Each structure stands twice: as structure tokens, then as C-alpha cells.
């Protein structure tokens, strides 16, 4: 059937028609809200590279969680900014570490919150790399033991999910074994299964002071030119026990999200990273486009590509727009 018998514009004629046939939507149930937690009290410090995003001390992080949950958000991904760093990132698994205390405080006050913790060393090491350095190289297997200790310490504090973001070989299996052995078989793993070595992480590294002090992360994060490798990485993590598979960043790698969706039945998360966030904020500030519509379109694209879950710094803004009843009016 062709024109003039078939006219596709009939299904775009009014807003009501467009709404009823829309194939893809984004709701608060799809979103995870990342939070940066720092030492101290009464601290809410805006991150210069991420306008509108803040570092919170634990007391004010609780207020932010309450505000977000009042808007319908349920899930939070926590990143820690420790008071001290060393060569091995030992504060990452300390019982009184910044994330451990934050998890306990959030779960005590908001038991229904889904608390997810980043499991990595880059925020905690003095050199800024995601693993243990031996002979000027990242020692993969030594790093696995450290990551397992971090994951168990987060589970003991009350984390619902742990999210290893280091890209070391074998870390999902090692973490799964450690969690099970410690009695935390109920704690899920959201694996940064496909994490590319990306320029779009720049603002995040400013936020947590995690830029490598030497070299780069190309020996453990993925080459942006590789797609088949992404599928191999994701399948390995599924075999090792990952419960949710993540692609990071999201927007430059929508094809990878689609590739995984077509080949893997596990839930897939897309991380709209700091650089993606800041591009939209700065572009809107420059008057290049309307911010809320750009947020809507970017998140729809991630969901349409096949992501079940979207990690985004815009989560609270989206929840506000939904509560006001204008989210669906943006297109």
C-alpha cells in the first residue's frame, strides 16, 4: 500500500493521536539518579564542570534523596569522594568509608530506596587509576581481590546492588563469589560490562578528582572502534553472574545498546554520562536549543535503542517535569 491510499501523516495529525501510538516512553521507573557524596557536614557544592549537579555531604545527601523520592524516583547510584587517598585505595573498603556511611544512613532513613554503589578504585587511589599498580602496570588479578573487598563492604552497609566500573577481566565472577561467600547472594551486580575509553568522562573526573596522574585507561577501558568486542565483554559478564548489563557512555554508543538488546536477554542499562549532561546544559545555555526538549529526545533515544534502565544526571529534572504534567508535552 502506497500514497495516496496510505498517508502516514494521519497518525501524526494531532497530539492525542501521536500520544496514543508513541512506541517509546520514559518514566521515573526507568531512571537511576547518580549522587556524589563527600566528607563533611552541611556541604552542597556545585561541580564547576556539571552545572546544577552537586557534591553532597551525607546529611544533605539525605535531603536530596528525600526530595527525589518525593518526585517518584526510587534508585540512586552513589559515588564517593574520600577524605584520603593512597596507592591501593584502601579507604574504598573501610567500614567507616564515605560510601559505607552514606549507604547506612540512606537505608536507615529510606528503607525502600534502591541503593546502588559504584565499585572501583579510581576515586580512592592517589594515582587515579582503577586498579592496583605493580611494575608500572595495572595488575588485573590483584585488583580483583580489592574490588571483591569493596563490594562486600558495600553489601554489609546495606547496598542493594553493586556496580563494578573498573573493566578488569574476571571481576564480576570474583565479586559474585565474594558476595555469595559472605552471605549476600541477594545483592545484585549491575556490571559496567561495556565501558569505552571515552572523552565524555571529563566532567566526572573533575567531580571526583579521579583523572589518572600518569598514562591513560586504554589498557582496560574499551576501544571506541570495537563493537564485536562489546558483545564478547557483555556475554562474559553474563556468564560470570551479572544481573544487569551496562553500556557507558550511552549516546555515542546507541548502536552497542541495540546490539546487546538483540543478543542478550538480561536487563540493559545505558549511562548518560557527565559529558553528555554538560553538553546539553551548555548548549541550552548558549541558546542553541531548548534544554528540556533536548533532555527528552536524548533519553528517548537511549530507551528506543533498547535500554531498560537509564542512569542520568537529569533524573530529578525529568521527575519534576513528569510531576508537573509537562514531560509528555515536550513533543
Exposure string for 249-271, b = 16+ CB within 10 A, e = fewer: bbbbbbebbbbbbeebebebbbb
The answer, yes or no, to whether residue 72 has pLDDT greater than 90, is yes
Q: Is the pLDDT of residue 20 over 70?
A: yes
Q: Name the pLDDT band for 277 (thresholds 50, 70, 90).
A: very high
- Average pLDDT value for residue range 64-91: 91
The catalytic residue positions are 195, 248
Long-range contacts (CB closer than 8 Å, 24 or more residues apart) made by 256-262: 256/194, 256/227, 256/230, 257/302, 257/305, 257/306, 257/307, 258/305, 258/306, 259/227, 259/230, 259/231, 260/194, 260/230, 260/231, 260/234, 260/306, 261/305, 261/306, 261/307, 262/306
Q: Which of 241, 234, 291 is nearest to 257 (CA)?
A: 234
Q: Which residue carries 547510584 as its cell?
A: 77
pLDDT at position 208, please? Answer: 67
What percentage of the chain exceeds 70 in pLDDT?
A: 97
Q: What is the CB neighbour count within 10 angstroms for residue 7?
A: 10
Contacts of 292 (CB under 8 A, 6+ apart): 317, 321, 326, 330
Per-residue pLDDT reduced to its tens digit, 214-237: 556 777 889 999 999 999 999 999
Query: Please, how many CA atoms are within 13 Å of residue 167, restricted to the half-sphere of its CB?
Result: 22
What was the pLDDT predicted at 167?
Answer: 87
At residue 83, the pLDDT reads 82
167-183, pLDDT tens digit by residue? 899 999 999 999 999 99
- Of 116, 180, 172, which is closest to residue 144 (Cα–Cα)? 172
* Cβ–Cβ < 8 Å for 174, 144: yes
Once rounded to an integer, what is the mean pLDDT over residues 90-104? Answer: 92
| Mean predicted lDDT score pLDDT of the chain | 93
Phi, psi of 256 (to 5 degrees): -75, -40
pLDDT, residue 135, reads: 78
Tell me the domain boundaries of the chain.
23-329
Q: How far is CA 141 from CA 38, 73, 115, 119, 168, in A?
A: 29, 37, 27, 16, 8
CA distance 143 to 206: 24
Write down the pLDDT at residue 136: 79
CATH number of 23-329, picked from 3.20.20.70, 3.40.1350.10, 3.60.60.10, 3.40.50.10260: 3.20.20.70
Higher pLDDT, 126 or 221: 221
By mean pLDDT, which of 2-11, 118-127, 212-221, 231-240 is the weakest? 212-221
The pLDDT, as a whole number, for residue 216 is 66
What is the pLDDT averaged over residues 249-277? 97
Residue 248's DSSP bridge partners are 195
Would the pLDDT of 69 be above 90? Answer: yes
Grid-cell match 521527575, residue found: 319
Amino acid at each position: 500500500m502506497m500514497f495516496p491510499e496510505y498517508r502516514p501523516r494521519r497518525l501524526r495529525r494531532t497530539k492525542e493521536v501521536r500520544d496514543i501510538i508513541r512506541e517509546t516512553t520514559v518514566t521515573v521507573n526507568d531512571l537511576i539518579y547518580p549522587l556524589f557524596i563527600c566528607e563533611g557536614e552541611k556541604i552542597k557544592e556545585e561541580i564547576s564542570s556539571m552545572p546544577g549537579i552537586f557534591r553532597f555531604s551525607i546529611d544533605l545527601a539525605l535531603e536530596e534523596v528525600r526530595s527525589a523520592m518525593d518526585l517518584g524516583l526510587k534508585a540512586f547510584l552513589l559515588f564517593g569522594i574520600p577524605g584520603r587517598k593512597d596507592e591501593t585505595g584502601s579507604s574504598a573498603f573501610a567500614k567507616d568509608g564515605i560510601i559505607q556511611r552514606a549507604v547506612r544512613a540512606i537505608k536507615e532513613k529510606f528503607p525502600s530506596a534502591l541503593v546502588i554503589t559504584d565499585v572501583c578504585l579510581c576515586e580512592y587511589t592517589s594515582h587515579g587509576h582503577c586498579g592496583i599498580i605493580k611494575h608500572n602496570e595495572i595488575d588485573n588479578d590483584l585488583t580483583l581481590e580489592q574490588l571483591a573487598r569493596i563490594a562486600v563492604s558495600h553489601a554489609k552497609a546495606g547496598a542493594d546492588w553493586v556496580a563494578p566500573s573498573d573493566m578488569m577481566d574476571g571481576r564480576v565472577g570474583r565479586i559474585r563469589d565474594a558476595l555469595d561467600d559472605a552471605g549476600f547472594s541477594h545483592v545484585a551486580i549491575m556490571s559496567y560490562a561495556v565501558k569505552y575509553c571515552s572523552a565524555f568522562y571529563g566532567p566526572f573526573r573533575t567531580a571526583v578528582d579521579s583523572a589518572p596522574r600518569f598514562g591513560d585507561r586504554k589498557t582496560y577501558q574499551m576501544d571506541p572502534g570495537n563493537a564485536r568486542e562489546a558483545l564478547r565483554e557483555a556475554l562474559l559478564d553474563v556468564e560470570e553472574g551479572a544481573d544487569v548489563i551496562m553500556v557507558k557512555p550511552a549516546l555515542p554508543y546507541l548502536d552497542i545498546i541495540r546490539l546487546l538488546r538483540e543478543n542478550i536477554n538480561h536487563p540493559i542499562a545505558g549511562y548518560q554520562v557527565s559529558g553528555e549532561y554538560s553538553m546539553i546544559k551548555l548548549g541550552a545555555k548558549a541558546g542553541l536549543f531548548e534544554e528540556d526538549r533536548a533532555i527528552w529526545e536524548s533519553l528517548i533515544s537511549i530507551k528506543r535503542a533498547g535500554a531498560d534502565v537509564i542512569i542520568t544526571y537529569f533524573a530529578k529534572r525529568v521527575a519534576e517535569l513528569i510531576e508537573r504534567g509537562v514531560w509528555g508535552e515536550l513533543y
